[in-house]
Amino acid sequence: MTGRTVGSALSIACALIIASVPPVQAFPLVAQNWRDLGPRERYDALQNYWQHQRLPQERQRDVEKRYERWQGLSPEERARVRQNYERYQQLPPQDRERFERKYQKWQKESRPQPPP
């Protein structure tokens, strides 16, 4: 995989994870602006929150840690992640599957091998 493809894969993975973070708990700024949300946005936020609450504690911590990484990104990096995610969403199903296989292979190859 090229560096650009790996960067795109990481960006998409980050965006996918962010989509699963519950706005009510993990996004304090959104919670502060609850009154500014429309009915559909409130419904979606609550659905995300409830989904997060059903996750095992370890998975909740993982999602929250990834969100902290997202918060550390610059606005330009966040925009790039969002753009890559939109491009991914527009891929035909076959291309998405091919991308997923390549990404999983890259993840597997990137993991440090346990000591013998």
Task: Provide the CB-side half-sphere exposure for 64 (13 A, CA).
Answer: 14
Q: Tell me the C-alpha distance between 57 and 42, whole Å.
A: 24
Q: The whole model's pTM is what?
A: 0.53
Kindly indicate the confidence band of residue 19, based on its pLDDT and cuts at 50, 70 and 90: low
Instruction: Dump pLDDT digits (tens) for 29-79.
Output: 444 577 888 899 889 989 999 999 999 999 999 999 999 999 999 999 999
CA angle 13, 15, 59 (to 5 degrees): 70
Query: Would you list the domain boundaries of the chain?
Result: 3-109
Detail the DSSP E strand segments found in the chain.
Answer: none
